[in-house]
Amino acid sequence: MLTLENIDILVLMETHTVSLRCSHRVQILEQSGLAAKAGVAIITKAGARWDVLNSEVVVPGYAVMVQVSHHMSRESFWILGVYGDISGGQASLVRFYERLHLCLSMIVR
């Protein structure tokens, strides 16, 4: 019998920090940040019992991916957190999505 878990995971974008800290309330599943520009993190409530099976910084500062599993069912799934680079307007966003596509195509097969 499959038990349905509450999915209490948040993708946090534009963190402007290189290191978020875990606390008694928050668990950081994965993060990548650039202090002056951007950052993305995938977080959950502390004690929610999500396990990280795999993690990948896809594009430093802009895209992270985690494979998580919950202790109840052991089913797993991937979460992709993306913060698009708009520092140079539309042109930088296009370059960013091209880079993201290339990086993801090397990871996901």
Which pLDDT band, with edges at 50, 70 and 90, does 13 fall under?
confident
Q: How many C-beta atoms surround the C-beta of residue 68 within 10 A?
A: 21
Residue at 93 is within a domain? no
Domain around 67: 9-84
For residues 4 and 65, the model is more confident at 65
Give the position of tokens 């019998």.
1
In angstroms, the CA 25 to CA 43 distance is 10
Task: With respect to residue 16, please indicate whether it lies within any of the assigned structural domains.
Answer: yes
Kindly state whether residue 102 falls inside one of the protein's structural domains: no
pLDDT in tens, 32-85: 987 777 889 999 988 888 999 999 999 998 999 999 998 887 788 999 999 988
- When divided into structural domains, the chain yields a total of 1
Give the per-residue pLDDT at 33.
Answer: 85
In this prediction the pTM is 0.83
In this predicted structure, what is the pLDDT of residue 48? 87
- Segment (H or E) for 102: helix 90-107
99 phi/psi in degrees, rounded to 5? -65, -45
The DSSP line for 73-92 is: T--EEEEEEE----TTTHHH
